[in-house]
Structure 1
């Protein structure tokens, strides 16, 4: 290798290993009392329980075990790694978390993972980072709470629907003004699909809300609060995007979209970020962040980020979910069209600190 290329490579590696990291999308850690409620293998490798043990022969799993065993000073087997991590969980756990989050300056935390009693608050991560964490607000969670409050207060569908929308608008406006909130996230990909309808059919929305209200009135507390109803999900997204687009603040807060990999129960063909194209065009002043690089639709992600000024590609979840070759392919596909200024990085860390560790280390080695 010519000397100038060698020096360039060294300078690049030094920059990647020393530049403070802003983790653009992650989740809270489990409380110490709850760390045994989630299988370590499922959390680290990112697979569903039905396929968890079959993943031991996957290249991503093998690489993770090799990396963790070297770091923990144990044999290169899953059982040895798991035992070593369990010991770290019992001995100076905060010190181990600090090592796992080493290099991160600040984390943007999506703290809507479910049972709040099991998780640390989003700002718990401030103990381990140099700058305060910020929140990412899951809008489907906000919408669900607004609908529930309206259904309790009103029995007539039109009044309940109107109140739910007013509740939602007020909740979003409050968060637009909150300096602790860095942006919003939609999990519509997990609930219906990414093909957000550009048209709003008020009559259809009223019918959907009538069914929700009926379920609530019948005491069906497990009935989905809008999550399974595409028209209502789409409508809330349009409200959010309109509020952001019309916001007169100095910096418009982004909407992150869960796309591609990340859910075994989603329709894969419906999770391509290409479905967002019409929505992106409709709101050109709203920053749109495509999470997980849209994998396996990475070229579609790169195209959208390159063609539209308001779109950004985020690499979270690619590390450590894929093999090294797969990770490199994703980066190559994104870079085919996308300027580096439109590429974001995140750990998608969740539950346990090792998810942060692998995401950080695998992108620099």
Structure 2
């Protein structure tokens, strides 16, 4: 494992186009929706220290340089050039970009991939798709017919779908598809109550979204585990998806469990038990920084090696792509080298498994063309 592993980032977002002040920059290093506690900074975290370790050398500075020096250099280069330098060092060849966080200040998937000299693939966020359809629907029937068309159309070109049911309700939803009458009633109530732009959070509609997407047999990413304070962590354990995973299997749809921390062992079990379930540890590695190797080792205790995927879940800062790639590569290398040195693994097996997790599993699951 001496040469850098090419990576497919199977779940990520765009980055900000503008230069950033210190407070805005630090805010992207936390899942909190509030400022840091008085007298503290989000830079003082495993993720903050990882950014200061791996990113300054890419902009011509020493590792661990003071944050103000790093941000001054970033502003000197300009946001676009800094992003190009940072993304260009990651070795990411493909970006599967969740389209659910589009803003005028954020790059599109194509812009992101262009800056990183890679290829963009669209991941359609189901809840946003439903809300866009609802904005122009005159009735529940219009909405449901339009949603079915929109999902089918998206399935023709997108790499897959994503659901944030974990945020909007939780993962403890009923596993089976809701009946047509139940769906029409829920749609009617939601359309009558929502203001334009209102979020879909009804568990019946969330289930309908999942099952509509599953019938296309395209992969579905599901947020599990930790995230911002909108969710309730105890209702985001992927183990809660056991019955849904069992029920959806006949559709031919692949489920990819995102992030998973601190329930990554639950996700590993589901990937072990069900042939159509895959997992990643995504942003868990970035946020645990110097401890990423331990989290990755726990995921690899049970997950089949052909069922674990790499992602960064980077959002806003190109630095998050750098950190995600670095801690993943280094953690995996240390783990595999250790297992080889103690005789638990052969060198040939280590050299074969590493590219599976880094890129080949994602290429197979999403049907991406080989480079």
TM range (shorter): 0.7 to 0.9
Would the alpha carbon gap of residues 121 and 359 (structure 1) be closer, same or farther in structure 2, given more than 3 Å must change? same
Write the distance in 2 (CA, Å) between the matches of 1:70 and 1:132. Answer: 25
Write the distance in 1 (CA, Å) between the matches of 2:321 and 2:17. Answer: 16
Give 1:60 deviation, angstroms: 4.0
Aligned to 2:9: 23
Q: Could you tell me which runs of 5 or more consecutive residues in structure 1 were left unpaired when the two chains were aligned.
A: 1-11, 155-159, 245-252
Write the distance in 1 (CA, Å) between the matches of 2:75 and 2:290. Answer: 28
Give 1:209 deviation, angstroms: 2.9
2:109–2:122 CA contact under 8 A, matched in 1: yes
Aligned to 1:140: 127
Would the alpha carbon gap of residues 70 and 29 (structure 1) be closer, same or farther in structure 2, given more than 3 Å must change? closer
Aligned to 1:162: 141
Given the alignment of the two structures, is residue 81 of structure 1 paired with residue 59 of structure 2, yes or no?
A: no
Would the alpha carbon gap of residues 121 and 26 (structure 1) be closer, same or farther in structure 2, given more than 3 Å must change? same
Aligned to 1:120: 107
Instruction: Kindly report the root-mean-square deviation, in angstroms, between the aligned alpha carbons of the 2 structures.
Output: 2.5
Given the alignment of the two structures, is residue 61 of structure 1 paired with residue 26 of structure 2, yes or no?
A: no
Write the distance in 1 (CA, Å) between the matches of 2:189 and 2:323. Answer: 44
Write the distance in 2 (CA, Å) between the matches of 1:112 and 1:280. Answer: 24
Which residue of 213, 219, 232 corresponds with 1:240? 213
Which residue of 256, 270, 273 corresponds with 1:289? 256
Given the alignment of the two structures, is residue 314 of structure 1 paired with residue 280 of structure 2, yes or no?
A: yes
2:55–2:63 CA contact under 8 A, matched in 1: no
Give 1:56 deviation, angstroms: 4.9
Aligned to 2:201: 228
1:215–1:221 CA contact under 8 A, matched in 2: no
Aligned to 2:230: 265
Out of 85-94 and 67-76, give the one that drifted further.
67-76
Encode CA deviations 1:202-247: one digit per residue, 9 max, x unaligned.
Answer: 554444333333335xxx436x34x221111111211111232xxx
Higher helix share: 1
Encode CA deviations 1:33-73: one digit per residue, 9 max, x unaligned.
Answer: 7x459711121344433446354554443344344456552
Partner-residue secondary structure (3-state), 1:62: helix
Q: Could you tell me which runs of 5 or more consecutive residues in structure 2 were left unpaired when the two chains were aligned.
A: 331-371
Write the distance in 2 (CA, Å) between the matches of 1:37 and 1:28. Answer: 20
Write the distance in 2 (CA, Å) between the matches of 1:140 and 1:84. Answer: 37
List structure 1 runs of 4+ shifted beyond 6 angstroms.
Answer: none
Aligned to 2:319: 354
Aligned to 2:95: 107
Give 1:199 deviation, angstroms: 4.9
Given the alignment of the two structures, is residue 344 of structure 1 paired with residue 317 of structure 2, yes or no?
A: no
Would the alpha carbon gap of residues 164 and 221 (structure 1) be closer, same or farther in structure 2, given more than 3 Å must change? closer
* Length-normalised TM-score, structure 1: 0.80
Aligned to 1:332: 297
Encode CA deviations 1:52-111: one digit per residue, 9 max, x unaligned.
Answer: 63545544433443444565525846xx32442343244254443233222111111112
Write the distance in 2 (CA, Å) between the matches of 1:37 and 1:75. Answer: 18
* Length-normalised TM-score, structure 2: 0.79
Would the alpha carbon gap of residues 337 and 149 (structure 1) be closer, same or farther in structure 2, given more than 3 Å must change? same
Give 1:164 deviation, angstroms: 1.1
